[in-house]
Structure 1
Amino acid sequence: MVAQIQVGLVGYGIAGQVFHAPLINAVPALKLAKVVERHGEASRQQYPWVEVVQNADALFHDPAIDLVVIATPNPTHFELAQQALLAGKHVVVDKPFTTTSAQAQQLIELAQKTQRILSVYHNRRWDGDFQTVKQIIAQGILGELVEYEAHYDRFRNTLKPGAWRETPELGSGILFDMGSHLIDQAQVLFGLPQSVTADVRTQRAGAKADDYFEIGLDYGSLKVILRAGMLVREPGPHFILHGSEGSFVKYGMDPQEAALRQGLTPVEPDWGLEPQAQWGTLNTQMGRLHFYGQIETLPGCYQAFYENVYQAIAQGAELAVKPQEARNTIRIIELALESHREQRTKLYGDIAASN
């Protein structure tokens, strides 16, 4: 059993600084040892023991580094992950996995060949409200589920000059960003859809990357709707579920991202707990009893992702986020883009056979 895994982090922008470094540091079995920063040494202000390097090769060629975490712009994910695997490192890639499903499949095959752990940071599986939704569905509280709708809406009516996410390059835009989370969650709950129908748009003046989408996933008797937009000043529900016995409606977003952006970490007391004002409303039939009221949101736990990665590397545990699932998410994004361009529903196809 490995005592402590040495971690190298590539990138210390928002992804590295907010979503990766604090969570790596929250897992005692992991040690953040090296950080790639091209300009400055911001990571040392928070983690004074780390070594800052300017090039990812310094991680790949360091025999002490066991795990490489890639938190760079989306178009760079494939090449960096490929180099890390070829160097014999275990790899975590920030979502989205890659910009094409073909690239994702290449990395999966390379990880199998090199016998390295490869996972993708789909942290939203550990949102407290999503964990709550999972339990509601698993326990059949709504009867037979017929409709599931999830939103990640924001209000950002101006563009950010120079931001790579605002470019027309493949991998930019809201579909690869928030869409990755919504599609991954749907896949966790329901598996692979029969077909994909999508509307992908740019709504803000001057926008070059998509900033709105609506995706319909067909699961036969179950209809799944995934939506995100950047011009939603008055947000609606985050989750809407309807079944043969009742409904569940939930407003508000998981508090972990906001806490991380404020500089808080999972070692804080009451981490991941949601205020009662944001608890979801359940209206359902339980036998001969009608229930209407709030359901307490389960606590969120983003650090569970890295705890699982450690267990997979050191103890042979099953990965919580398998790269095949992340590849399927990219494939659904591709089908959504094709559906919008062709103005027709796309069958999911035979990718399920390659799982």
Structure 2
Amino acid sequence: MQLVKAGLCAFGMSGKVFHAPFLKEHPGFFLAAIVERSKNDSAEKYPDATIYRSVEEMLEQQDIELVIVNTPVQTHFEYAKKALEAGKHIIVEKPFTVNASEAQQLVDLAQEKGLFISVYQNRRFDRDYLQVQKIISEKKLGTIKEAEIRFDRFRKDPSGKEHKENPEQAGSGALHDLGSHLIDQAVQYFGMPDRIFADVFSMKGEAFANDYFELILFYPDRLRVRLKSSVFSKEAHYAYTIHGDRGSFLQERSDDQENELAAGAIPEYGTAWTKPLTQADGILNFINERSETERQLTFSEPGNYMNYYQQIYEYMVFGYALPSQGIEVLQNMKIIDAALESAREGKIVDVVKS
């Protein structure tokens, strides 16, 4: 099997949980380099990876083909640009960049260099997201009229992470952090909206970046999609609520890959490595072809973040489809830009599509 040598730009939570374990377990990748500015935390689990003290030093290594830019979002543009200029293919953690202008510059540079950018939209490989996608594609709900996607938490105390909570830093806050997932999912399900209205602010106070948002996406044919997140949600809501002219579907946020990985689970290659469900995680209520109402409890199939890296490998080696390519996720950044404008101006704004 052809080996792809990869390098990680950081070994924080993202590197430890979402990237290094998959690069190690996938037989087509060799995790050759990890950037740790002062520590050697990666040495025990990844002894074959050389530790570098700066991204720049790692980028000098000619044999590294793929670089994962998993540093704070405020540095994504800088490091992604340097990696492309060094001739590396790149995976950029979400959110892609601080704004659409930065994303566009990176997309243009990658095209100029003949390199690829993929954005790590891992929630496309969550069991709950995939179940909703399946239900929509089966058309049991008929024409979709309304949808709500939520990502709620209960975190009343600050995390202490400046790049996520300092309101003076562009790209901080829940809209970029969790919104980049919800917006991506809405676009995958329904395409780009025409207009948007957004309420974005900090429930914890002005000293903190936004920790609450509600976006209303306006689509043709009277479809409305609401995206919402709050840090003061002690009791869980259904993460996905989909209503059509033939029925409704409610889906819990049931994917537990992140928690299992953080607890030390090994994402085995070629197998569903997550724990199976013990109870239903969805409700489907619809009018069937016999004009009878059916109400079913549903069970989602396991998700697997390994499939993201499998698709990356297949693209690099066989030329198959590239997952969540930069030019595609650039559109999500335009929605984030429009949401911030809407919240600032207090009005519905158009979403730039071209």
Q: Is the 8 A contact 2:284 2:298 kept in 1?
A: yes
2:295 to 292, 297, 302: 292
CA distance in 2, matches of 1:161, 1:94: 20
How far apart are 1:13 and its partner, in Å? 0.7
Percent of aligned positions that are identical: 37
TM-score of the superposition, structure 2-length normalised? 0.95
The residue aligned with 1:327 is 330
How far apart are 1:50 and its partner, in Å? 1.1
TM-score of the superposition, structure 1-length normalised? 0.95
Query: Structure 1 residues 281, 34: CA separation in 2 closer, same or farther (over 3 Å shift)?
Result: same
Q: Aligned runs of 1:225-264 on 2, under 5 Å?
A: 225-264=226-265
Tell me, yes or no, if structure 1 residue 177 matches structure 2 residue 180. no
Q: Is the 8 A contact 1:246 1:285 kept in 2?
A: yes
Deviations 1:283-304 (A, max 9, x none): 1112114221211202101111
Tell me, yes or no, if structure 1 residue 341 matches structure 2 residue 340. no
Tell me, yes or no, if structure 1 residue 133 matches structure 2 residue 136. no
CA distance in 2, matches of 1:291, 1:266: 37
Q: Secondary structure at the match of 1:241?
A: strand
The residue aligned with 1:199 is 199
User: What code does the residue aligned with 2:327 have?
Assistant: Q
The residue aligned with 1:314 is 317
Deviations 1:230-271 (A, max 9, x none): 111111111101111111112233111111111112218642
User: What code does the residue aligned with 1:323 have?
Assistant: G
Q: Secondary structure at the match of 1:153?
A: coil
Q: Secondary structure at the match of 2:32?
A: strand
The residue aligned with 2:93 is 94
Query: Structure 1 residues 278, 13: CA separation in 2 closer, same or farther (over 3 Å shift)?
Result: farther
Q: Is the 8 A contact 1:279 1:294 kept in 2?
A: yes
CA distance in 1, matches of 2:225, 2:301: 23
Q: Secondary structure at the match of 2:279?
A: helix
Q: Secondary structure at the match of 1:45?
A: coil
Q: Secondary structure at the match of 2:198?
A: strand
Q: Is the 8 A contact 1:250 1:279 kept in 2?
A: yes
The residue aligned with 1:61 is 60
Stretches of structure 2 that go unaligned for 5 or more consecutive residues are none
Q: Secondary structure at the match of 1:43?
A: coil
Deviations 1:193-248 (A, max 9, x none): 01011000100146420000001111122110000111111111111011111111
CA distance in 1, matches of 2:272, 2:4: 27
The residue aligned with 1:213 is 213
CA distance in 1, matches of 2:254, 2:170: 27
CA distance in 2, matches of 1:192, 1:206: 31
Q: Secondary structure at the match of 2:151?
A: strand
Deviations 1:162-183 (A, max 9, x none): 5321111111111000000000
The residue aligned with 1:190 is 190
Q: Aligned runs of 1:83-162 on 2, under 5 Å?
A: 83-162=82-161
Q: Is the 8 A contact 1:252 1:278 kept in 2?
A: no
How far apart are 1:278 and its partner, in Å? 4.7
Q: Is the 8 A contact 1:276 1:296 kept in 2?
A: no
Runs of 4+ in 1 over 3 A off after TM superposition: none
Count matched residues: 350
How far apart are 1:58 and its partner, in Å? 2.2
CA distance in 2, matches of 1:70, 1:285: 47
The residue aligned with 1:304 is 307
User: What code does the residue aligned with 1:348 have?
Assistant: V
User: What code does the residue aligned with 1:239 have?
Assistant: Y
User: What code does the residue aligned with 1:170 have?
Assistant: A
User: What code does the residue aligned with 2:302 have?
Assistant: P
Moved more, 63-72 or 265-274: 265-274
Query: Structure 1 residues 274, 144: CA separation in 2 closer, same or farther (over 3 Å shift)?
Result: farther
Tell me, yes or no, if structure 1 residue 5 matches structure 2 residue 7. no
Q: Aligned runs of 1:17-28 on 2, under 5 Å?
A: 17-28=16-27
Tell me, yes or no, if structure 1 residue 31 matches structure 2 residue 34. no
CA distance in 2, matches of 1:272, 1:128: 10
How far apart are 1:99 and its partner, in Å? 0.5
Tell me, yes or no, if structure 1 residue 223 matches structure 2 residue 211. no
